[in-house]
Amino acid sequence: MLPKSDRPKNIFQYNNKKPQQIGSNYIFINNKIQDKIDLIYLCSRKDIEITKRNIEVLINLWSNELIKFIKERQNIYYFHKEQISNKREEDYKGLRKKLNFEIDNYIMKNNLKLFKKYYEEIYEIGFVKVVKHDSFNEGKIITFFDIDNFSTIINKLSDGGIEIPQEVIVLNKFINLDKISINKIVELYPFLISKATKDIDIKTSESNEKIKKPILIEPNLKVNGLIGVIDTYGSFSNGWENYVEYIEEPFPKIEGIVFNKDYSHGTSVSSLIIGNDIINDKFKDDLGIFKVKLFGILPQGKISMFYFMKKIEVIIKNNHKQIKIWNLSIDSENNDLGISLLGHYFDILQKKYNVLFVISAGNTHNQIASGADSLSAITVGSLYENTNNELKIASYSGSKNIFGRFKKPNTYEVSNDISAKDSSYDWKYSIDESGYMVWNDGTSFSAPLTARKCCYLMNKYNLSLESIKALINILTEVSDNNLPNINFNNSLDMLMLIIEGKASPKDSKIINIKLPTYTEIKNNFEKVKQDFTYAIGISYFVVPSNKLGDEYSTINLEFKIVAENKMGNKRDIFKSKKTEKINGINATEKVLLEHFKKYDPNRVLINKDFDKPYGYTKDTNNFYIKLDCSDLFERNNETINYACAILLKEKNIGSLNNFEILNEKNIIKEEIIEHEYLQN
């Protein structure tokens, strides 16, 4: 991802104004992301002529002597920078300023000011080309570049003899077209299609052996919330029917295709959500009973992704006000190196309807299922228990770094792994359509346990969806076995802070916070020492846009604990485990992306001394929590809801005991009242 300063501002034009980006593509070689990017700009024929003239001006001004002069200064700079790479940036800032002054002076003396204006932009550019789509050899699900509003584009296509019926459109964005129709568009407007994706299959896992032991559940137990499930059909008995609202959808009628009903998968997934603690005594989470609203829409085997997209949008639209947590235990192929079309679709749905999807990671090692790469969703992988009673990541559990940066899955839960040689064979069970216990392996049966945790957190603590994500993310990262423990106890050595709010790009806020310090006398000098360490998790829903392409998540929300020095300056106290660079001082864009998770909507940062607090020296005992919100493109002022979870950990015993008293004015004292419907 390029910083703002590296983007063209002069050499490309759009209606005599700065360039208008409408897309981007990251570049991969052997599935590894490169430090290069294709930027896609909107332009007219006139704009192309202006750009051509600008490049000709640059070529005419091109001077071998000037290039030689610049290269010599660059080499001097890089040589000295390498020599002092372990020192602070201030040590070589003066050299850079001196060399740049020499280059500027040369340019002014030789009347090359216009050259400088263009050269600073073009020296990073590999090539410029006008792009148009080739014809397609099969039908695809497509999206358009955002060069006009959607209805205007549809009307223009209609004027050109291409009719697109409403039934092949979802969310006024995704269009499922046959080969003939899509090639007509390419012929009429060869630049219009931004992305084309094969309509892949959605499928669910199969159950393993049954154990002829029915599990009964008492009626009228207290329930701790309602969770939506979109899955196969279901069948419930032995009391479980009292905790399910069941809606069975008919399958589509497609000539030559017969869909068979599957009552097992939807039943198993729903039973785990309702009563995991009743079924699995060993793997209890102590969260109680939940109610499920099951929408049976998937058949046995496979079904079209586009059909699934159409159905799920209607379901979420009609139920989002009463159901905020949704379990999607589905699997599908995913060959995208970035965000899949289904992942993009899920991000739009969650943002539009303010819901949270809990999605199974998929059962392909080193890959992630389509949709499970949604950055706004919580993606769940699988653990199994080995013969030493340790929890390990299952061999099949899907995983991937989206765009080489965004980590998936977010969290893990217990399932089974029949292929693991060191498995304890102490299975985790669910219930099938006959009411008997059945054991399964697959991430489909891990996701329901995370859905339970999300619903519990929302209702018990009245937390936002963003706070739920932040908590699950950070508790997973600090756990020894990737299993988040949300049953907070009164441990004296750690405190969890939750900050919720709204922010817009360019917002900057600061809050005074009283954090523990202690003094240490060394060589007759008294030093202030930090008596804590911390980890921080930040969460918000992404704002996907066609204009961004692969530069998918461009809002950067930062929460920092900053310390005030003797000069009154406030500096970030976070220390990364993998770099000595400091955010805001000497960290490059690459370091910010890799080690400080810039632009990551699921950012978790853990201090290098978190396992064993060090006690860093500080100038003063003045600390603040600082929020900064920015957008790479400054394309809008849209407000985002955010949450920040800060896990404070003491260095010396009892250092956090008085935290609540010292910070009373910033803590919301709110009695948690359970909702009436939970008493049913």
Q: Reply yes or no on whether the pLDDT at 680 is more than 50.
A: no
| CATH number for the domain that contains residue 346 | 3.40.50.200
Which whole number is the average pLDDT over 15-29? 84
Q: 282 and 367 share a domain?
A: yes
Q: Which residue has the tokens 């020492």?
A: 529
Position 524 scores a pLDDT of 80
Position 674 scores a pLDDT of 41
Query: Is residue 418 within 8 Å of 208, Cβ to Cβ?
Result: yes
Position 670 scores a pLDDT of 58
Query: Is residue 140 within 8 Å of 181, Cβ to Cβ?
Result: no
**Positive or negative: CA dihedral 421, 426, 428, 434:** positive
Q: 432 and 378 share a domain?
A: yes
Judge whether 473 lies within some domain. Answer: no
Least confident among 102-106, 193-197, 420-424: 102-106
Q: Reply yes or no on whether the pLDDT at 608 is more than 70.
A: yes
Q: What tokens were used for 278?
A: 């009743």
Position 86 scores a pLDDT of 54
Position 258 scores a pLDDT of 85
Question: For 135, which DSSP code?
Answer: P
pLDDT tens digits, 507-535: 999 999 999 999 998 878 889 999 999 99
pLDDT tens digits, 119-164: 777 767 878 888 788 899 999 999 999 888 999 999 999 999 999 9
Higher pLDDT, 462 or 13: 462
Q: 456 and 395 share a domain?
A: yes
Q: Reply yes or no on whether the pLDDT at 346 is more than 60.
A: yes
* Residue 331 φ/ψ, nearest 5 degrees: -140, 150
Q: Please give the Cα distance from 499 to 467 (Å, whole number).
A: 8
Q: 569 and 635 share a domain?
A: yes
Q: 184 and 284 share a domain?
A: no
Q: Which of 170, 201, 199, 173 is nearest to 544 (CA)?
A: 173
Judge whether 413 lies within some domain. Answer: yes
Query: Is residue 605 within 8 Å of 575, Cβ to Cβ?
Result: no
Position 18 scores a pLDDT of 77
Q: Reply yes or no on whether the pLDDT at 268 is more than 70.
A: yes
Position 679 scores a pLDDT of 27
Q: Which of 370, 365, 316, 429 is nearest to 141 (CA)?
A: 370
In terms of residue numbers, what domain contains 67? 20-123
Q: What tokens were used for 395?
A: 């061999």
Query: Is residue 380 within 8 Å of 411, Cβ to Cβ?
Result: yes
Based on C-alpha coordinates, what's the Rg of the chain? 28
Least confident among 170-174, 246-250, 349-353, 545-549: 545-549
Judge whether 426 lies within some domain. Answer: yes
Q: Reply yes or no on whether the pLDDT at 181 is more than 90.
A: yes
Position 103 scores a pLDDT of 81
Q: 483: which residues sit within 8 A by CB, 6+ positions away? A: 383, 391, 411, 412, 413, 414, 476
Instruction: Enumerate the β-bridge partners of residue 162.
Output: none
Judge whether 594 lies within some domain. Answer: yes
Share of the chain above pLDDT 70, in %: 94
Q: 190 and 275 share a domain?
A: no
Question: For 679, which DSSP code?
Answer: G
Domain endpoint, select from 123, 158, 181:
123
CA triple 225-228-232, angle to 5 deg: 140
CB neighbours (10 Å) of residue 326? 28
Longest Cα–Cα distance of the chain, Å, equals 91
Q: What tokens were used for 381?
A: 């992988």
Query: Is residue 642 within 8 Å of 500, Cβ to Cβ?
Result: yes
Q: 328 and 419 share a domain?
A: yes
* Domain count along the chain: 4
Q: 276 and 180 share a domain?
A: no
Instruction: Enumerate the β-bridge partners of residue 625.
Output: 511, 561
pLDDT tens digits, 388-409: 999 999 999 999 999 888 999 9
Position 531 scores a pLDDT of 95
Residue-wise DSSP of 428-443: -EEE-TTSEEEE--SG
Q: What tokens were used for 309?
A: 């997209």
Domain endpoint, select from 440, 461, 482:
461
Q: 454 and 319 share a domain?
A: yes
pTM comes to 0.90
Position 613 scores a pLDDT of 94
Judge whether 151 lies within some domain. Answer: yes
Q: Please give the Cα distance from 637 to 620 (Å, whole number).
A: 36
Query: Is residue 595 within 8 Å of 576, Cβ to Cβ?
Result: yes
Q: What tokens were used for 140?
A: 């695809």
Q: Please give the Cα distance from 69 to 110 (Å, whole number).
A: 12
Helix axis angle for 90-109 and 64-83, nearest 10°, is: 170
Position 134 scores a pLDDT of 87
Judge whether 3 lies within some domain. Answer: no
Position 677 scores a pLDDT of 29
Which whole number is the average pLDDT over 592-614? 93
Q: 498 and 529 share a domain?
A: yes
CA distances 265 to 190, 439, 624, Å, are 44, 11, 50
For the sheet containing 169-170, what is the strand order? 169-170, 174-177, 140-144, 193-197
Local confidence band at 114 (pLDDT 50, 70, 90 cut-offs): confident
Question: For 233, which DSSP code?
Answer: -
Type of residue numbered 332: S
Q: 554 and 608 share a domain?
A: yes
Judge whether 674 lies within some domain. Answer: no
Q: Reply yes or no on whether the pLDDT at 633 is more than 80.
A: no
Q: Tell me what the pLDDT averaged over the chain comes to.
A: 88
Domain endpoint, select from 461, 480, 512:
461
Instruction: Enumerate the β-bridge partners of residue 227.
Output: 292
Query: Is residue 617 within 8 Å of 572, Cβ to Cβ?
Result: no
637, 638, 641, 644 alpha-carbon torsion, rounded to 10°: -40
Quick one: how far is CA 71 from the chain centroid? 40
Q: Please give the Cα distance from 532 to 648 (Å, whole number).
A: 7
Share in percent of the chain as helix, strand, coil (round to 5): 30, 30, 45
Higher pLDDT, 498 or 96: 498
Higher pLDDT, 374 or 553: 374
Which whole number is the average pLDDT over 341-366? 95
Query: How many Cα atoms sit within 13 Å of 266 on the Cβ side?
Result: 28
Q: Please give the Cα distance from 127 to 148 (Å, whole number).
A: 27
Instruction: Enumerate the β-bridge partners of residue 41.
Output: 21
Q: 118 and 155 share a domain?
A: no
Q: Please give the Cα distance from 264 to 126 (Å, whole number).
A: 54
Query: Is residue 431 within 8 Å of 441, Cβ to Cβ?
Result: no
284, 286, 287, 289 alpha-carbon torsion, rounded to 10°: 70
Strand-strand pairing, 223-232 and 325-328: parallel
Judge whether 36 lies within some domain. Answer: yes
Which whole number is the average pLDDT over 217-243? 95
Residue-wise DSSP of 372-426: TT-SSSEEEEEEEEBTTS-EEE-TT---EEETTTEEE-SEEEE---TT-TTB---
Local confidence band at 83 (pLDDT 50, 70, 90 cut-offs): low
Query: Is residue 620 within 8 Å of 563, Cβ to Cβ?
Result: yes
Q: 180: which residues sit within 8 A by CB, 6+ positions away? A: none
